[in-house]
């Protein structure tokens, strides 16, 4: 079944640790996105990619980085986690015509202590 997967679902980690949030999709979608969602619910686009080896920063400045070496894989990395990074991170993908909508993963809830 075509889908988009995020791991881990929940992560509690200490300050200063390096972390990678995984996102994979099996739909062959060209475009992928990372959103940060704080308890106030609003979605903030932090990274997006429209194909292999193409990534750009989104609307909200983020200390995280992303890579797109394979079409199906779009990991997000924090080199040194801080409490301010505590949030929910949502990954999404869309086909070449993203006007037909995004498919979202279940999210990763990150807590940095």
Among 81, 105, 110, 112, binds other proteins (CB under 8 A): 105
What single-letter DSSP state applies at residue 78?
A: E
Contact window for other proteins (CB under 8 A) among 11-19, 62-70, 79-87, 101-109: 101-109
Find the binder of other proteins among 2, 41, 69, 113 (CB under 8 A).
41
**Of 9 and 82, which CB lies nearer to other proteins in the complex structure?**
9
By CB under 8 A, is residue 66 in contact with other proteins? no
Among 7, 43, 55, 67, contact with other proteins (rule: CB under 8 A): 43
Tokens representing 35?
A: 């959103």
CB hemisphere CA count around 67 (13 angstroms): 7
- 34 counts as binding other proteins under rule CB under 8 A: no
Residue (of 34, 37, 63) closest to 47 by Cα position? 34
Query: Environment class of residue 89 by beta-carbon count within 10 Å: exposed (0-12), middle (13-18) or buried (19+)?
Result: buried
In whole angstroms, the minimum distance from the beta carbon of 45 to other proteins comes to 7
CA distance 36 to 51: 21
Residues shown for the chain:
113
Q: How many residues bind other proteins (CB under 8 A)?
A: 28
Among 19, 90, 110, 112, binds other proteins (CB under 8 A): 90
């Amino acid at each position: 079944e075509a889908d988009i997967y995020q791991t881990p679902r929940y992560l509690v980690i200490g300050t200063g640790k390096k972390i990678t949030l995984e996102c994979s999709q099996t739909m062959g979608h060209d475009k992928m996105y990372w959103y940060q969602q704080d308890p106030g619910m609003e979605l903030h686009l932090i990274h997006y990619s429209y194909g292999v080896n193409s990534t750009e920063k989104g609307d909200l400045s983020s200390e995280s980085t992303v890579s797109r070496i394979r079409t199906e894989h779009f990991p997000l990395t924090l080199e040194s986690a801080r409490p301010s990074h505590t949030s929910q991170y949502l990954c999404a993908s869309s086909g070449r015509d993203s006007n037909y909508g995004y498919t979202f993963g279940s999210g990763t809830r990150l807590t940095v202590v």
